Amino acid sequence: MTTIKSLADDLLAKHLEYAEANDFEGLREVCGQLEMLLGEAPTDPILLFTIGTSKLQMGINGPAITYLKHASEMAPDLPEVWNNLGTAWKHENKNEQAAAAFLKATELREHPDFLNNIGTLYVNEGRPGDGEQFLRRAVELDPEHPKAQWNLSLILLEQGKWREGFGKQDFGLLSGDRPNKTYGLPVWNGEPGKRVIVYGEQGMGDEVMFSSCLPDMMKDVEVVFDCHPRMKDLFKRSFGIKCFGTRKQEAPGNWLNGVKADASIAIGSLMRLYRSEGDFPRKTYLTPDPKLVARYRKKLEALGPGPYVGIGWKGGAKRTRSDLRSVKLKWFTPILEQGGTFVSVQYTDDSAGKVERFKADSGFEIHHWPDVVENKEYDHSVALAAALDLVIVPNTTMVHVCGAIGQECWTLTPNAPAWRYGLESSEMPMYGPWVRQFREGDSWSDLFARVAAEYGAWKDREAAA
């Protein structure tokens, strides 16, 4: 058994080394060796905990839950076991089980990590007030805890507490939730008369939304924008500034030396400087390519009579709660039955196959143009949106595009939305009334019944006009 213990100690030390280095190959190797030791010590809680944690770190959540549950039975008074078990449950969007595990960890030891983890369960879940108390306590215990401060900022923004919420957003640069690129330059804090690199971050929709601050910033400094590669032409046309589509690259490229900038800032951080009072301009600020708009309008008219309606059905990924932000294509049937020409603005894998299967099952045709919605130049998707009469989509990038170009858009908002959508209003705080929210309410079927009724009335008004 001494040999087993010695081997286990060596492997546990290697596990810590590989975990700190994010070396998944090393973790995989050491995890396999630890599992072999279970034959000699099948109930050893540290072995079980370390194997479960390794699985968790590699994103293999199912086995992680199994090992960590077993570890919690062997060592019920070890708070780290419960905390990691909660994290594994959370990664599978099993929030009820996650909450129970996190609370158990906190009962055993009040620690800011554990309190932060409980708080995260209420981010984008429609109950920000319930999470705020845990995150406030985590920050009270450790005011410099970047994760807790970042999650608290999200909880606050959900409630429209703009000043404090935006004021804490930069903790995301320290927590790893936002990219922290400095280009070797000091961070810009609003000083006038500078040349400043702004870099895009997070999703494309976020970059579009945050870019509403650029016209304000351009009054104070010369702006250089390191943006998403698909949107370089869109931003260059809209703002008339130098744009480089390299923000997803680790090294920006040769252009940096030629720019000779004085400072840099993440685009999301501009909200702290220009939107701290919730003073969103609620006006258009992006300019679609007029030639592309004309081309796609002509292409739409060739399909048949209008109105021309763009629809989408899936938003986000598993990490950003695609399960809450996505709807079924068949739920659009009450809308499709009322007539019009419908075009997919969905860009995800198998969208073409999905609309083909839907047509075979229902008889309703939704036109899908992969060369447009999957084009590496996002100008094509933006121009298609501008050429349509109406866009109906869940909470996706297309909502922000419509808000920025002034296109009428109805977005299907779940009961547990991201902070950008608020909790109650039919409008979004940063866009004008042309972006309208239909909230889930009692059920998605209830929502689609309301949307279908409104579509009928809208269609009649359009016909009369």
Vertex 68 angle, CA 65 and 71, to 5°: 150
Q: What is the pLDDT of residue 321?
A: 58
Q: What is the pLDDT of residue 317?
A: 53
Same domain, 103 and 236: no
CATH number of the domain that 309 lies in?
Answer: 3.40.50.2000
Residue 386 lies inside a defined structural domain of this protein? yes
Q: What is the pLDDT of residue 124?
A: 86
Q: What is the pLDDT of residue 296?
A: 98
Same domain, 240 and 163: no
Range of the domain at 114: 2-167
Same domain, 260 and 397: no
- End-to-end CA distance of the chain, in Å? 85
**Contact of 72 with 81, CB cutoff 8 Å:** yes
What total number of domains does the chain contain?
Answer: 3
Residue 148 lies inside a defined structural domain of this protein? yes
CATH number of the domain that 163 lies in?
Answer: 1.25.40.10
Same domain, 247 and 361: no
Same domain, 110 and 209: no
Residue 177 lies inside a defined structural domain of this protein? no
Helix axes 61-74, 79-91, angle to 10 degrees: 160
- Residue 366: which of 406, 331, 329 has the closest Cα? 329
Same domain, 263 and 296: no
pLDDT in tens, 10-53: 666 776 777 777 777 877 887 788 788 788 888 888 889 888 98
Paired with 393 in beta bridges are 411
Same domain, 320 and 416: yes
Nearest-angstrom CA–CA distance, 67 and 96: 19
Q: In which residue ranges of the chain is pLDDT below 50?
A: 1-3
Contacts of 451 (CB under 8 A, 6+ apart): 334, 335, 392, 410, 412, 438
Same domain, 378 and 231: no
